[in-house]
Structure 1
Amino acid sequence: MKLIVLDRDGVINEYLEKPVAHPDEWVPLPGSLEAIARLHQGGWHVAVATNQSGISRGLLTLETLHAIHQRMHEKVNKAGGKIDVIAFCPHNDSEQCDCRKPAPGMLYTISERLDIDLSTVVVVGDSLRDMQAAMATAATPIMVRTGKGQKTLDNNKGLEHIPAYDDLASYVDALLAPKEEE
């Protein structure tokens, strides 16, 4: 099985300075839905791992989060793609859970649900937390410059070894490009 795990806000949809608190606020980034469709059509399974502290902070309910994710599923499906699993952490930093990125708990949950070794998985994110979670599980971290990505790259020396792409679509272009014979 080929699996890619995507962060949500800033990778699939526009990053807002506040949590996406209503389905209408969930706006896909240009090319992201088509990129997910190309992954699906190319034999990849797609999962999403997303910190959603807005729940613990009372900014949205679990029902609203499910409605947002339903909108995401519908948009991805309409583009010809599929998201196999969504894992989310409803906690904030002060709760010290094992699921909130940079902790790797959501990645372990996805691994268990899909019965896959995380060392074979690609994790695409736009934040230091995403990269730390990927590295903690031996997954392959990939940065995108959308969302908080460029700021993260500018502010965090030590990420130079992690490949960075303009957006999810450009990473998927590179991933799915035919490999040249040696």
Structure 2
Amino acid sequence: MALSVDRVVRGLLFDRDDTLVIDVPYNADPHKVVPVPGAHRAVERARAAGLPVGVVTNQSVIARGGATREQVDATNARVDELVGPFDVWCVCPHGSADDCACRKPRPGLVLEAAERLGVPASELVVIGDIGADVGAAAAAGAQSILVPTPRTRQEEVDAAPTVAATIEDAVALALARVAAARA
């Protein structure tokens, strides 16, 4: 599947866990950060194409009391060091019961990232591994690319408008739209 041919792509947003880095549940330890194969190359390729890149991530470990915001920020800094650099980090510190506007699949993180990047949400692509990533993109008016993992439910794959096998393939799909828009 491909992204919409009638929409410009001017920036990429990535989910953190199982998209950029191997998921360690509720990780707030920078020493446990291991990039997903190809993540650094994919982000580097997007940056080389002139796209701003950011991360939008739910981190309920903060709400659960399993880590402080400072610990999560330190972990994100390690991701930035190994995979980035990223132009913006947007983090939801809430739990699922908090009813916040930022927790994916709600649009808050994507809209915050769009504002901070100075790019309309409609010109962003969100790359993630679960339906909440796809849902947040849709709710914000952005496009999405799902990169399934063994934990991604089949119904999430079936419902996703665009699916890629790897993070590198996802970035290639987005860059194809950038090239087409510039042509």
What TM-score, normalized by structure 1, do the two folds share? Answer: 0.86
C-alpha separation between the residues in 1 aligned to 2:19 and 2:55? 10
The alpha carbon displacement at 1:61 in A equals 1.2
How far apart, in 1, do the equivalents of 2:95 and 2:72 lie?
15
Q: What is the distance in 2 between the residues matched to 1:157 and 1:99?
A: 23
Equivalence for 1:22: 29
Q: In structure 2, what residue type is equivalent to 1:95?
A: D
2:120 maps to which residue? Answer: 117
The question of whether the paired residues in 1 share the 8 Å contact of 2:130 and 2:148 is answered with: no
Identity of aligned residues (%): 35
Point out the more displaced range, 125-134 or 83-92: 125-134
- The offset of 1:108, in angstroms, is 1.2
Q: 1:36 to 1:133 in 2, by over 3 A?
A: same
**2: CA distance, partners of 1:91 / 1:100:** 7
Q: What is the identity, as a one-letter code, of the residue corresponding to 2:159?
A: L
The answer to whether residue 164 in structure 2 is matched with residue 165 in structure 1 is: yes
Aligned-partner Cα distance in 2 for 1:121–1:176: 12
Q: Does 1:46 align with 2:46?
A: no
Alpha-carbon offset, residue 157 of structure 1: 7.3
Q: CA deviation at 1:64?
A: 0.8
In the aligned structure 1, how far is the partner of 2:150 from the partner of 2:91?
Answer: 18
TM-score for both structures, normalised by structure 2: 0.86
Q: Unmatched 5+ residue regions in structure 2?
A: 1-8
Alpha-carbon separation, structure 1, partners of 2:52 and 2:27: 25
Query: Contact 1:124/1:142 (CA < 8 Å) preserved in 2?
Result: yes
Q: Cα deviations across residues 95-125 of structure 1 (Å, max 9, x unaligned)?
A: 1111111111111111221222111111111
| SS of aligned partner of 1:141 | strand
Q: How many angstroms does 1:156 deviate by?
A: 3.7
Aligned ranges for residues 38-117 of structure 1 at < 5 Å? 38-76=45-83, 81-117=84-120
Which of 2, 15, 21 is equivalent to 2:10?
A: 2
Structure 1: give runs of 5+ residues left out of the alignment. Answer: none
Considering Cα pairs closer than 8 Å and 6+ residues apart, tell me whether 1 or 2 has the greater RCO: 2
Per-residue CA distance 1:24-56 (angstroms, 9 max, x = gap): 111100110111011101111101000000011
Q: 2: CA distance between counterparts of 1:113 and 1:169?
A: 25
Cα distance in 2 for residues equivalent to 1:132 and 1:84: 22
What amino acid does structure 1 have at the position aligned with 2:155? N
1:158 Cα deviation after fit: 5.5
d(CA) in 1 for partners of 2:36, 2:60? 21
Q: How many residues align?
A: 171
- Partner of residue 139, structure 1: 142
CA contact (8 A) 2:56 2:89 kept: yes
